[in-house]
Amino acid sequence: MKKKIIIIAIVIVIIGALVGVYFGYVKPLVEAKKAYNDIVSTINDKNNKLDNSIDNLQKLVNSGEKPLDESLTESSKEIIKEAQADKYVIEKMPSGRKKIEQATEKLKNENIDYTDITNKLDNQTNNLSKSIESYKKFINPTQDYVISKLATIDEVGSIMPATEDNDPNEQLNKEKGYTCDIYFESKNVDRSKIYDSEGKDILTIGTEGGGSIEVYKTEEDAIKRRDYLAGYDGGIFASGTHRVVGTTLIRTSHKLNATQQKELEQKIIDALAN
């Protein structure tokens, strides 16, 4: 009987010790770890959303597709770097309840909020995507498309496309030549200053009357044409400005002043891009 009492007493002591260990050490440790994991899970959710926004922009940058606004590529890379630097790196859970509780409190006090940088990334992704789509409109646009867009510009008067029968340069549809060449009038050009223009149509007058849009099969062909025209810049045969976007060569009259040329060129780009 005495033996049984001793055994029971020992069991009670052991159970008491185990209960004490559980409530004094195990339970607080489990609760500390849970609290730590909960806050880590919340931060990980935020990090995942940030990563998703970063990835969306990075994919566009990595695609190699050209945007109409070339500066967007570099600015996108800078925003990605900024976002990566802002991302909070969670350290490994420390050992010991006290340290875990301290780490949890520290994470709570970080007040991690990626709203501003995520909005910045998403807006940049949207802008870059739109700019890429705008650039595509300068890749082999049709004659009808170019004419319809030129017609939306207030400064532009009469518009006339060249045909194989009346093409002044005789390059329409030829190897390395343009697939369409559309001449247009600028209301800012004084026709009285154009030699022998009385009663003539805009195609006969040529780019002097306002400008023209030449569309090529490849960007290389368009650049080659631009460089050819650039060879006359500053001389008596200078024909005005000549800017390549995609496979499209935009030309403006040398009868316009420099400011008018730049403004008209930009109006044309904006019209074709939208």
Query: In Å, how far are 24, 32, 97 from 20, measured between CA atoms?
Result: 5, 17, 16
Query: In Å, how far are 21, 92, 227 from 142, measured between CA atoms?
Result: 81, 59, 23
**Residue 43 and residue 108: Cα distance in Å, rounded?**
10
Q: What is the pLDDT of residues 185-222, one digit of tens each?
A: 999 998 888 877 777 889 999 999 999 999 999 999 99
Model confidence at 4, in pLDDT bands (50, 70, 90)? low
Q: What is the pLDDT of residues 252-263, one digit of tens each?
A: 999 999 999 999
More confident residue, 120 or 238: 120
pTM (2 decimals)?
A: 0.84
**83: exposed, middle or buried (Cβ count in 10 Å: 0-12, 13-18, 19+):** buried
pLDDT tops 70 at residue 24: no
Q: What is the mean pLDDT of residues 74-81?
A: 97
Taking a C-beta distance cutoff of 8 angstroms, is the pair 118, 49 a contact?
yes
pLDDT tops 90 at residue 18: no
**Residue 254 and residue 142: Cα distance in Å, rounded?**
26
**Residue 60 and residue 168: Cα distance in Å, rounded?**
41
More confident residue, 200 or 229: 229
Contacts of 23 (CB under 8 A, 6+ apart): none
Q: What is the pLDDT of residues 122-136, one digit of tens each?
A: 999 999 999 999 999
Domain boundaries, the chain: 2-132, 143-273
Chain-centre distance for alpha carbon 130 = 7
Pair type for strands 178-186 and 241-245: unpaired
Residues in the chain: 274
Residue identified by tokens 């518009």 is 159
Q: What residue type is assigned to position 135 of the chain?
A: Y
